[in-house]
Chains A and B, each alone.
Chain A
Amino acid sequence: MAPRNDASDVLRGTLDLLILRTLSLEPQHGWGISQRIQEISADAFRVGQGSLYPALQRLEERGWIDAEWRHTDEGRRARYYTLTRAGRKALGEETAAWRRYVDNVELILGGAP
């Protein structure tokens, strides 16, 4: 478990992918998404609201996610985001693209002295 102060902001450009991935599991509200990303990454990534909500809005406008007000298990009103069909498709493509990218970076780093 990485120490808390080593946690870095999510790389620009990968946040959308992480949000889509999180939402592919189940609909979630903004707070939940940030918590989930932090948990899954074992606290390595920290998602500030300053980037999370603009990203959600961006994805919503792109039609990849949908939002509606629902009640949480504790009975509070929260804005839940759901992956749309277009979003699911985009997640597949983005994931594949990311993998290719990582492989290529790895190749280069692996070949370095």
Chain B
Amino acid sequence: MIGRLRAMLRQLRTLVRKDAVEREQRAEMAFHVDMQAEQYLRAGMAPAEARRAAHVAFGGVERFREARRQASRVRLLDDLVADVRYGIRSLARRRGFTAAVTLTLGLGIGGTAAIFSVVDGLFLRAPAGTRDAERLRRVYIERNEGVVRTGPGGGSGSYLDYTALRDNLRGAAHVATDVAPRLVDLGRGAEAEQIRAGIVSANYFATLGVRPAAGRFFSAEEDGVEGTHPVVVVSHAFAERRLGGAAAAPGAALLLNGRSVTVLGVTEKAFTGLQATRTEAWAPTALAVSLGLMFEGWRAEAEMIAIDYVVRLRESVDGAALEREATGILTNLAEAHPGIDPTPVAHTSGITPAAGPGRSPAAFLSLLLAAVAGLVLIIACANVANLLLARGMTRRRETAVRLSLGATRGRVARQHLAESLVLAALGGAAGVALAFLGLALTRQFPLPAGAGRLDGRVLAFTATLSLATGLLFGLAPALRAGRVATVPALKESRLHQSVAAGRARRGLVALQVALCALLLVGAGLFIRSLGQVAAVDPGLDYAHVTRVSVDLGKAGFTPQEREAFYEAARARLDALPEVAATAMVHFHPFASSAYGIGWRLTGVEEPGFREGPYRNLASPGYFAAIGTRITAGRDFTAADRAGEPTAIVNERMARGLAPGGSALNLCVALGSQVNDGGCTRIVGVVEDYAHRFLEAADVPMIFLPRERDPTAITWGGPALIVRTRAPAAAAAAAVRAAVQGMRPDLPYVLAEPLTETVRASVLPYRLAATLFSIFGALALTLAAVGLYGVLGYFVAERTAEIGIRRSLGAPSAQVVRLVVRQGMVPVLAGLAVGLAAAWGATRVVGSLLFGVDARDPLTFAGAASFLLVVAALAALLPARRAAGVDPMTALRTDD
């Protein structure tokens, strides 16, 4: 027992007092040699000879120490420390190599971790604040016949579907419903703003497992009869921002879309809704009509499919069983409603925003980006592997020297490994730092709680991957180090090199090039697509145009009061020095809304319009204000207010009315005139402009004078169009302030530059092009560095061979060809594979492209030649170095 204790103490001492122990060992060794020398002396040797012989008999000093270390049990830990220190020293000597590996790994890990953390938080994870989310399911209903159809995968359903499921679905503990959140006006006057509000059933929060931070959630009664209980629940952030904190919120009064409601409760902090955009308030379904979000009687119509379902599964039930049961219930319900599909099919999915058929293009784009970031990580790992393999080769001689000095093979192998691990750790640290940096950038965007936080799992995964790369590719040279035959390796020049290692490295280059080609084709497609988007000519000059919309109906304005208000607003705006012109229109440009109109003109056939014609109401000066031109006839004037009905048509409509001739002065039966008689005189023809951005401008349009009947269209609109002298983005705030300040009881006044409306449509294309370009450039850089590294080592290895070739008369061009060919073979192989993969894969992104075919030959050719040029440059640099080799130097220095 005491012996064991003493032994342990000694082991400890060996470890902590390494120097003292080594001093003792040296003293013991010296004693041994002295004794041996004395013995030889006694045997009759000369003193000097005796000492020399004693040393020889003792053997190598290094070997003595190594053998003792090998015998020691503490050596493993001890060696690890020594190996790591050796690795750090050796890495510090080769700063370029270390920096390259660290940066490569860092970019790969950091980029992937940052992107994936955001995507994970936004789309892949159950929304924060929900409990036992793995038992929560979205239910989608697929209908392929009847008046309402959803397409494959299903979609929203009706309130009747909801009540049927709620009352009959045994597989679910809770069935709740929600309507996708919309923007509603909050408050009046200067304080007014727009917030996102959802419509939910009473049991919504209970189903999700969300708890109140203050107050309570809806009772069944409060979600009963329409309009009887004006109550809402607000988010924690909203309570803090507007109501002085969660505790003070219950009982507070709010004005939502002109209707006063009382705050019942506040959700817990983490919960910001199930969607990727934050929701700030929730109203019961029984308040949807009062808030102007649904039309009267929507809850009783089987054809009104606008609501979604979320259910909590019972313990023993899985998604498939629930789908079968729900399908049965919905089929029974369909029997009572002849208009709808008699064979609906229920589908379920998880509640992450990326799941289900309703996932947004943003979710798709983000998932795509996560995949792309993963590809870059693979490229980075391949690069590091390549650098490590190449480094392993150049260390053969160093290894041989260490072996001949008495280090064991296992020891040398472990040293290689330790160095690789140190590298991997450095790369991992750089990766974490870069990930934090990347996430700091993403925080510029308003993300829901939980998104954009560095995820432990993601970090662990990327860190493991980097460590594995270090281990795996540190191990290959390490194992080879163990097999190095001392004498040949010491003798060998760089003429002899492992063929297998070269093949592995070229394979890695090919892999990088293939993935790089894939990314470059993707980047190319998105850049071309963005180019097409930017080149879209919507047919009007809108950079100085702001639209102003106020929902006066919610504020209780009669149509007459509304017209008077806009009249006053225009007068006020016209007085501003920065305003060039104002006009009124019903559907503003790029509004995406449209309202059809029937027409008849004796002797003219409907010319097969793809869609339309659409009607719109415009005031005099509207066309000038939005920057389009009247090409024939005249604009509306005050005189069009009464007398003979007049209209202005766009050129597309004009061609339909008078093929080959002029539509001016034709009298066309429009709308009710088709049946009731009468006609409308065409007094002007205006240029086509796109009524939805990014769509063709060739939709036929008919404009009627707005002043003649401002209520000719009963929904949507109107909008006040303001043309400013400065670009709209700079002037919009002043415009908004001028209108909002007119009356203290105004709801939120929206003043949006048309450039902003367009920006939203262009954003996905711009985002895709930007991010793909960044990742493509990153991949290309990594691949080029990888190729350069491999060829650099190739040239270094073959310096002697090249020297011989040169001295035998090979021209430098031949040497350049030799090196370039060596590099371009894997590049071409990788390129072929990458392009083939891209050919198969780009169809996935087809829906994100605009005006470009997913297999656009120009893009493929462009990406290929770009990659080839960069690869050729990366190959040419080492080749030129090789060509510059002086034969004599190369032959003499063998290192």
Q: Do A and B bind each other?
A: yes
In the complex, how many residues of chain A place their beta carbon closer than 8 angstroms to a beta carbon of chain B? Answer: 27
Across-interface contacts of A30 in B (CB, < 8 A)? 28, 31-32
Say whether A31 contacts B7, CB under 8 Å: no
Say whether B31 contacts A54, CB under 8 Å: no
User: B10's contact among A31, A54, A55, A61, by CB below 8 Å, is which?
Assistant: A61
User: A49's contact among B7, B59, B70, by CB below 8 Å, is which?
Assistant: B59
Say whether A77 contacts B6, CB under 8 Å: no
**In chain B, residues 457-503, which have Cβ atoms closer than 8 Å to a Cβ of chain A?**
none
0/1 string, A49-70, CB within 8 A of B gives 1: 1110111011011111010010
Across-interface contacts of B343 in A (CB, < 8 A)? none
Verify if B603 is at the interface (C-beta below 8 Å from A). Answer: no
A78 to B59, CA, bound (A): 20
Chain B proximity of A55: nearest CB distance (Å): 7
0/1 string, A82-106, CB within 8 A of B gives 1: 0011110000000000000000000
A31 to B38, CA, bound (A): 12
Say whether A77 contacts B72, CB under 8 Å: no
A54 to B70, CA, bound (A): 8
Across-interface contacts of B10 in A (CB, < 8 A)? 60-61
A38 to B879, CA, bound (A): 64
Interface size range of chain B in the complex = 20 to 34
User: A61's contact among B7, B25, B28, B35, by CB below 8 Å, is which?
Assistant: B7
Verify if B73 is at the interface (C-beta below 8 Å from A). Answer: yes
Say whether A50 contacts B63, CB under 8 Å: yes
Say whether B71 contacts A57, CB under 8 Å: yes
A85 to B6, CA, bound (A): 12
Say whether A57 contacts B68, CB under 8 Å: yes
Say whether B32 contacts A49, CB under 8 Å: yes
Across-interface contacts of B3 in A (CB, < 8 A)? 63-64, 84-87
Say whether A53 contacts B64, CB under 8 Å: yes
A59 to B29, CA, bound (A): 18
0/1 string, A29-50, CB within 8 A of B gives 1: 1110000000000000000111
User: Given the known A-B contacts A50-B59, A53-B64, are A31 and B36 also in contact in the complex, defined by CB atoms under 8 Å?
Assistant: yes
A54 to B58, CA, bound (A): 14
0/1 string, B32-74, CB within 8 A of A gives 1: 1011100000000000000000000011000110011011110
Say whether B31 contacts A76, CB under 8 Å: yes
User: Given the known A-B contacts A61-B7, A61-B10, are A29 and B31 also in contact in the complex, defined by CB atoms under 8 Å?
Assistant: yes
Verify if A21 is at the interface (C-beta below 8 Å from B). Answer: no
A60 to B4, CA, bound (A): 10
User: Given the known A-B contacts A31-B32, A31-B36, are A66 and B6 also in contact in the complex, defined by CB atoms under 8 Å?
Assistant: yes
Verify if B628 is at the interface (C-beta below 8 Å from A). Answer: no
Verify if B24 is at the interface (C-beta below 8 Å from A). Answer: yes
Verify if B27 is at the interface (C-beta below 8 Å from A). Answer: yes
Chain A proximity of B171: nearest CB distance (Å): 66
Say whether A48 contacts B59, CB under 8 Å: yes
A58 to B73, CA, bound (A): 8
Say whether A63 contacts B71, CB under 8 Å: no
Verify if B11 is at the interface (C-beta below 8 Å from A). Answer: yes
Of A61, A76, A79, chain B has the most CB atoms within 10 Å of the CB of: A61
A41 to B529, CA, bound (A): 91
**In chain B, residues 1-26, which have Cβ atoms closer than 8 Å to a Cβ of chain A?**
3-4, 6-7, 10-11, 24-25
Say whether A79 contacts B27, CB under 8 Å: yes
Could you list 30 A-B pairs, sorted by A, with CB under 8 Å?
A: A29-B31, A30-B31, A31-B31, A31-B32, A49-B58, A49-B64, A50-B59, A53-B29, A53-B67, A53-B68, A54-B67, A54-B68, A54-B71, A57-B71, A58-B71, A61-B7, A61-B10, A61-B11, A61-B73, A63-B3, A63-B4, A63-B6, A63-B7, A76-B31, A77-B27, A77-B31, A78-B28, A78-B31, A84-B3, A85-B3
